[in-house]
Chains A and B, each alone.
Chain A
Amino acid sequence: MTILYFAWLRTKLGMSTEDLPCSDEVFDTDSLVAWMKTRGPAFAEVFSDLEVVRIAVNQEYITSNTPLKDGDEVAFFPPVTGG
Chain B
Amino acid sequence: MADLFDRFESLRARRDGLVGDGGHDPFQVEMDEVLSQTEAMIEGRRTILAGTNNYLGLTFAPESLKAAHDALDAAGTGTTGSRVANGTYSGHKALEHALCSFLGKEHAIVFSTGYLANLSVLSTLVGPDDYILMDADCHASIYDGVRMGDAQIIRFKHNDAADLDKRLARLAKKPGNKLIVIEGIYSMLGDKAPLDEIVAVKKKYDDVYLLSDEAHSLGVLGRYGRGLPEEVDLEDDVDFIVGTFSKSVGTVGGFCVSSHPQFDLLRLACRPYIFTASLPPSVVASAKTSLELVEKGGALRKRLMRNAERLHSGLSALGFTLGGDVSPVVAVVAPDVEIGVAFWRGLIDGGIYVNLALPPATPQNFTLLRCSLCAAHTTEQVDRIIEVFAEVADTLGMLPKQPKKKAALG
A and B form one complex: no
Binding site for B on A (CB under 8 A): none
B residues lining the A interface (CB < 8 Å):
none
